């Protein structure tokens, strides 16, 4: 599942983030192409910005993305968009991968690492990177705690789950900033696999420029 329904308020601009231009195409095109080309992915549900369904289908058609099984408008929050997308995933799917369209560069090997972790028996697997800065908890304007950095990981997407576990954990309501948090809260076992700097999330304009530079470097431009 590719979640692309966000408004992209921090990026700004006159259209949803999934349609912000990256290397001449809508941002959505790059992660969609990479998921479509991933041999371990069978089908892709695209959760698109409301009122952008037709444009989203056009992006998929222009790419020749043959694995797109449905394209549905998302909800108010990321969690709701995932719920809406999950309803489109066939009941008999064993594994669900949830990926942010805001992370356009999906390096080879990530999906394999996630699925390997599920084969080892975990309920979920997420890519993570070590945290380099010291992290502190702040309440109001006062630091209340310095967190043990060695125990902290910055997590990315795609995130992989045993499908029925994710369905149960998501439930009908509630918000979390990633899918793994639902599975953790439901008592599921989630593990971390090696993430990748190239999985950066496009949040503000500088991130879009970074993603474009990485893409150009990859293409040898
Ligand atoms: N997302 C979604 N539905 C929402 C909100 C977010 O599908 N209601 C998706 C976004 O499209 C993005 C991913 O979740 O691919 C991560 O969200 P984020 O980076 O926060 O994107 P936006 O919510 O679009 O950006 P902002 O928070 O700046 O408005
Ligand atoms: Mg958001």
26-72 pLDDT, tens digit each: 999 999 999 999 999 999 999 999 999 999 999 999 999 999 999 99
Q: How far is CA 149 from CA 49, 156, 173, 191, in A?
A: 36, 17, 32, 18
156-209 pLDDT, tens digit each: 999 999 999 999 999 989 999 999 999 999 999 999 999 999 999 999 999 999
Task: Evaluate: CB of 72 within 6 angstroms of ligand 1.
Answer: no
Domains of the chain from N-terminus onward: 2-218 (3.90.550.10)
Task: Write down the pLDDT at residue 192.
Answer: 98
Task: Evaluate: CB of 176 within 6 angstroms of ligand 1.
Answer: no
Which residues have a beta carbon within 5 Å of ligand 2, which is an ion?
Answer: 6
In which element (H, E) is residue 46 found?
A: strand 44-48
Task: Evaluate: CB of 99 within 6 angstroms of ligand 1.
Answer: no
Q: How far apart are CA 204 and CA 209, in angstroms?
A: 9
């Amino acid at each position: 599942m590719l979640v692309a329904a966000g408004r992209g308020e921090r990026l700004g601009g006159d259209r949803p983030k999934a349609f912000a231009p990256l290397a001449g195409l809508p941002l959505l095109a790059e992660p969609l192409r990479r998921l479509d080309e991933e041999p371990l992915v069978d089908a892709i549900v695209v959760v698109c910005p409301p009122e952008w369904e037709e444009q989203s289908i056009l992006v998929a058609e222009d790419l020749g993305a043959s694995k797109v099984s449905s394209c549905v408008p998302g909800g108010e929050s990321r969690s709701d968009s995932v719920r809406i997308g999950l309803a489109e995933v066939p009941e008999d799917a064993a594994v669900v991968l949830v990926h942010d369209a805001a992370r356009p560069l999906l390096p080879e090997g990530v999906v394999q690492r996630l699925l390997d972790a599920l084969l080892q028996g975990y309920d979920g697997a997420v890519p993570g990177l070590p945290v380099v800065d010291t992290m502190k908890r702040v309440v109001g304007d006062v630091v209340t705690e310095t967190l043990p950095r060695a125990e902290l990981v910055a997590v990315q997407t795609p995130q992989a789950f045993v499908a029925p576990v994710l369905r149960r954990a998501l439930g009908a309501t509630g918000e979390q900033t990633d899918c793994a948090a639902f599975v953790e809260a439901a008592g599921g076992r989630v593990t971390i696999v090696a993430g990748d700097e190239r999985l950066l999330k496009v949040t503000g304009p500088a991130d879009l420029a970074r993603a474009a530079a990485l893409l150009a470097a990859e293409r040898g431009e």
